[in-house]
Amino acid sequence: MQQIFLIEDEAGITQMISVQLQLVGFKVNNATDIHSALKSEHLPKAEVIILDWMLPDGEGPQVIPQIRQQTNAPILMLTARSEIVDKLVGFEAGADDYLTKPFDMMELIARIKALLRRQTTAAKSKSVPRRFEALCMDLETRRVQVDDKEIELTPTEFKILEILMQAPGVVFSRDKLIELVMGYEYEGYGRTLDSHIARLRGKIEPEPKSPRYVKTVFGIGYKFGG
């Protein structure tokens, strides 16, 4: 049974999400604040984390780096904030998806399943590690190294690099890359894709402002090397 960890302080929303997710076969554990979430034994075991923005002891985006110290499970932000600047803040903090309140439960379930598919597809990929200069990506172990130093990537960053690295020199438009990364069309994701690319470059590129691996094709999208 796949495990979902919900960090939400509104009892009504917690109950609704927990009941509906359990009905479709998920196991749900929850916390009502940041402190208890980070102390929970269930957090590192979760396969998807649903994170509210406004919590009693802080804001969701601020806790993402601490969550990443325990797990690289995809994080779905759940919030009443719908402005594009808020979405950018969430994605730049390391969230993998973003859903605004009020929301439809069927859409939430669909997004969770899409995040899980991305994880499952990557986990099942068996291949010889891909190498380019000092960069090495092993899909089987989900490890990325630069100059033999292991690099911690979020699920979204890993998926972007995987897609680009499997087709060196091929130019992916932003729309196509979004579709491949998210598993479905996601309106308004274009700017946040650029944020994920910037974070990825900051981790793997010797000179992020002059990228060697993930290159911009102006007016179109991105490519790997070449």
Q: pLDDT for 33-66, tens place per residue? A: 999 999 999 999 999 999 999 999 999 999 998 9
Residues 34 and 100 both lie in one domain: yes
- Can you tell me the distance from the alpha carbon of 51 to that of 17, in angstroms, rounded to the nearest whole number? 12
Percent of the chain with pLDDT over 70: 92
Rounded average pLDDT over 192-202: 89
Domain end call among 90, 121, 152? 121
Q: Contact 37/31 with Cβ under 8 angstroms?
A: yes
pLDDT of residue 80: 85
Residues 171 and 79 both lie in one domain: no
Domain end call among 66, 93, 121? 121
Domain end call among 75, 104, 121? 121
Domain with residue 173: its CATH number is: 1.10.10.10
22: left (phi > 0), else alpha (psi -120 to 50), else beta?
alpha
pLDDT of residue 67: 93
Instruction: Match 């990228």 to its residue by tokens.
Output: 211
Full residue range of the structural domain in which residue 24 is found? 3-121
The answer to whether residue 187 scores a pLDDT higher than 90 is no
Residues 100 and 141 both lie in one domain: no
Residues 159 and 100 both lie in one domain: no
Residues 101 and 195 both lie in one domain: no
Residues 117 and 131 both lie in one domain: no
The answer to whether residue 151 scores a pLDDT higher than 60 is yes
Residues 83 and 143 both lie in one domain: no
- Taking the CA atoms of the chain, what radius of gyration do you get in angstroms? 17
Domain with residue 20: its CATH number is: 3.40.50.2300
Q: Contact 74/155 with Cβ under 8 angstroms?
A: yes
Q: Which of 85-94, 105-114, 152-161, 177-186 has the lowest mean pLDDT?
A: 177-186
Percent of the chain with pLDDT over 90: 54
Residues 151 and 206 both lie in one domain: yes
